[in-house]
Structure 1
Amino acid sequence: MDEQKVIVKIPLKRRTKNHLNSMYFGTLAVGADVAGGFLAIAKAEQYGKKVSLAFKAVEGQFLKRPEADVIFSCTDGKLIDQMLEQTMQSGERVNQAVTINATCPSISGDEVVAKFSLTLSLKAIQ
């Protein structure tokens, strides 16, 4: 993780794979949730303020079967910074979509196997 991105790896193991020997849909959803939420939580802690965080909507595109360890990456650090500044100034809830890409580098390099758009909802707690 750095200021602009977070990368999360979920290994393909017995408990994360389905009957097709690819990653379960639920595991893919958890990976997207963790990657999108972790960056927002870490940035809120840097501000020293408490923030209510939730996801209001999710869209997923499953482009190729993830048949190896999956890397989830979110590079929306600047967008999350803007959202945090906006909610801290206004006290209102702010909603924006963040993008999480999933890849299987060991079998398909940087080719995206799944793409998620999660509507991140942030509100500063006074």
Structure 2
Amino acid sequence: MVITASKLNRFLFFKLPSAYICGVRVKSIDNEKCVVMVKHRWINQNPFNSMYFAVQAMAAEMTTGALVMDKITKSGKKISMLVANNKSSFSKKATGRITFVCQDGHLIDDAIQKTIANGEGQTFWMKSIGTNEEGIQVSEMDFEWSIRLK
């Protein structure tokens, strides 16, 4: 199965409805990069008139998780995935349309090869950067993914 932006958005609707309702949408995905957008609106705001941190985290996690799902699918093996840790920093109020980009697709291949070769679980960190419409960074989130053979 080829993973596309439209299939991921359908996945959001059925499996992660809170992210879908808050406006998280995958715009593009390829072998190395995933782009997700979310617009600040009433449903995803905090009391300080900006986007709630958890909505930003959902969008950021989607950029990394979609790449992991894509690589696992392409491997043809049954591999489980789980977020083991995350770190985040916020540098500016998130208002308007926020774009999250992860360009760490290359980190996944090595971990999948190692877990298939030796049967042991692997962990790796992936970064997603959120920018506003002016291109100014509003947040940076790192997710530690753990994968292992089922």
Deviation of the 1:124 alpha carbon: 2.0
Q: Deviations over 1:24-46 (max 9, x none)?
A: 01101111221111110011101
Distance in 2, matches of 1:79 and 1:71, equals: 21
| 1:46 counterpart = 2:74 | yes
Q: Deviations over 1:17-74 (max 9, x none)?
A: 1222211011011112211111100111011112110111111010111111111111
| Secondary structure in structure 2 of the residue aligned to 1:15 | helix
**Aligned AA (2:70):** A
Distance in 2, matches of 1:33 and 1:50, equals: 21
Distance in 1, matches of 2:78 and 2:44, equals: 33
Q: Please, what TM-score do these two structures have when normalized by structure 1?
A: 0.91
Q: Identity of counterpart residues, as a percentage?
A: 28
Deviation of the 1:6 alpha carbon: 0.5
| 1:115 counterpart = 2:140 | yes
Matches within 5 A, 1:89-100: 89-100=117-128
Q: Deviations over 1:93-126 (max 9, x none)?
A: 101111111111x2x22x221001111111122x
Distance in 1, matches of 2:77 and 2:100, equals: 27
Aligned length: 122
What is the RMSD computed on CA atoms of the aligned residues?
A: 1.1
Matches within 5 A, 1:21-36: 21-36=49-64
Question: Any unmatched runs of 5+ in structure 1?
Answer: none
Q: 1:7 aligns with which of 35, 52, 60?
A: 35
Question: Which position in structure 2 is the counterpart of 1:19?
Answer: 47
Higher relative contact order (CA 8 A, sep 6+): 1
| Secondary structure in structure 1 of the residue aligned to 2:44 | coil
Contact 2:39 2:95 in 1 (8 A): no
| 1:69 counterpart = 2:94 | no
Question: Any unmatched runs of 5+ in structure 2?
Answer: 1-28
Distance in 1, matches of 2:34 and 2:62, equals: 9
Distance in 1, matches of 2:145 and 2:100, equals: 16
